[in-house]
Structure 1
Amino acid sequence: MRASANYASVLSLLSASAVNAQCASGVHIISANGVIEGGVGKIGEFVTALQAKVPGSDTEAIPFNQPYAAYVQAQPAVLADVVSRATSYAQKCPDTPIVLAGLNRGAHAVMDAVCGASSDQFKTTEPLPADILSKIAAVVTFSDYSWLPGQPWSRGDATGPSTYPRKNPAGCDPVATKIASYCAAKDPWCDKQVTDFVENAYLPAKVPEAVDFVVSQLGNKA
């Protein structure tokens, strides 16, 4: 019996070691792409910069393979994917901080994951549960389809409205200090003032600021 108990103990330790080996020692970045983007997409510039700043970080990308015409029908599946991946990783690696990042359509899904969906034409949803939200260190988005000016997390000179403005921004209150959401004036998706197609043109300039924001959030968790 003692040998069996010892064997079980060894197996348990080996299993725990295997799980720990799969957990990032830095942060785990879950990024949701813009429409019809494979791989890490344009948001990859931010992801790469953050990995360089926080050694030991890893990433997984969620593609958005549907055209804009099918956006309203396709977005809930991307939202469900963000929720599923964040939940799974938080449960598997509870000691690794999670960073959520998204670009335009993907940004909308990321924000819905942490705030709950509340835009017109989309089914209302609840945000991630508190125990999962507590594992999320920061949320960074660019050109969010549900962007609102004047919110604690709003960054940039856009005045709105966005394509699908968030109707219940109070849903973001529990994570408001963890969010940095960037939108520049005349971005046709988050500012909806289509006079100059500046979508994503400001992303490279804002990457250092966004990375510093995440690092500051990690310091707050220390």
Structure 2
Amino acid sequence: MKFTTTAAALSLASLASSTPVELSERQSCPKVYVFGARETTVSPGYGTAGGLVQQVQNAYPGTGAEAIVYPACGGQASCGGASYDSSASQGTAAVVKAVTAYNQKCPDTQIVVIGYSQGGQIFDNALCGGAGQTLSGNALKAVKAAIFMGDPHNQVGLPYNVGTCQAGGFAARPQGFKCSPADSSIIKSYCDSSDPYCCNGNDANSHQQYVNKYGSQALAFIKSKITA
């Protein structure tokens, strides 16, 4: 009987020592987590996407957020001459790594991704293919809503397009492109005809207006996909 009591005490002690860590890890996982990615040449952080990231955090108190760390280069000297394509490739790999790692840590957290310009392109790559690595398995399932704003991959006719653009961006998807492996119903991509980067316009200023113009609409879409 004494042995049984001792064994039980040891078992309880072991449980007590491990439970706080497990509880702490679970408690540190919010219901919603946002990944944001900035546009080309902008300093590290969220860039223009930050306005919508903040709106999501305001809508869901306690929401965590993280900026994708990637070059956001386009050949300028400040990036050491790194090419746009190289930067986008590195960004896509960074998205897959960051989202997968977070999902492994917090498997029940619902993930939202918000990308602006090149930042939209790297999320587009990670969800819809075309640049090597893509999200898969539970990490892909955890992404409940994806917002691309001014995405150079824009192509007319995609089912998730929003805005006035009826052409393709400078890195346009081929005609008839279909997003895979993600379900396109979780995506909204915003682009207007005046934008020279995601469309064929000539007003560079319009490229920076999507959060101001479509932010409320994008937030409503995100809310329609989140169950928190």
Question: What's the TM-score once normalised by structure 1's chain length?
Answer: 0.88
> Residue deviations 1:121-142, cap 9 Å, x none?
xxx4253113221111100110
Q: Please state if 1:136 is matched with 2:143.
A: yes
**Residue 204 of structure 1: aligned partner:** 212
Q: Please state if 1:33 is matched with 2:46.
A: no
Query: How does 1:42-81 map onto structure 2 within 5 Å?
Result: 42-69=48-75, 70-81=83-94
Q: Please state if 1:93 is matched with 2:93.
A: no
Question: Which sections of structure 1, spanning at least 5 residues, go unmatched?
Answer: 118-123
In our comparison, the structure showing a higher alpha carbon Rg is 2
Q: Aligned partners of 2:135 and 2:69: how far apart in 1?
A: 20
Of 117, 121, 125 in structure 2, the residue corresponding to residue 108 of structure 1 is: 121
**Residue 120 of structure 1: aligned partner:** none
Could you list the structure 1 runs, at least 4 aligned residues long, displaced by more than 4 angstroms after superposition: none
Question: Which sections of structure 2, spanning at least 5 residues, go unmatched?
Answer: 1-6, 76-82
**Residue 189 of structure 1: aligned partner:** 197
Instruction: Say if 2:136 and 2:181, in contact at 8 Å, map to a contact too.
Output: no
Q: Aligned partners of 1:77 and 1:174: how far apart in 2?
A: 20
Helix, strand or coil at the partner of 1:31: strand
Q: Aligned partners of 1:115 and 1:180: how far apart in 2?
A: 13
Of 20, 28, 32 in structure 1, the residue corresponding to residue 26 of structure 2 is: 20
Q: Aligned partners of 1:106 and 1:66: how far apart in 2?
A: 8
Q: State the shift of 1:207 in Å.
A: 0.4
Instruction: Say if 2:72 and 2:118, in contact at 8 Å, map to a contact too.
Output: no
Of 41-50 and 167-176, more deviation after overlay is shown by 167-176
Instruction: Say if 1:29 and 1:60, in contact at 8 Å, map to a contact too.
Output: yes
Amino acid at match of 2:105: K
Amino acid at match of 1:97: Q
Query: How does 1:120-135 map onto structure 2 within 5 Å?
Result: 124-135=131-142
Q: Please state if 1:169 is matched with 2:177.
A: yes
Q: Aligned partners of 1:166 and 1:10: how far apart in 2?
A: 54
Q: When the two structures are aligned, how many residues end up with a matched partner? A: 212
Q: Aligned partners of 1:12 and 1:169: how far apart in 2?
A: 49
Question: What's the TM-score once normalised by structure 2's chain length?
Answer: 0.86
Q: CA-atom RMSD, angstroms?
A: 1.8
- Summarize the Cα distance change of 1:29–1:157 in structure 2 as closer, same or farther, 3 Å threshold: same
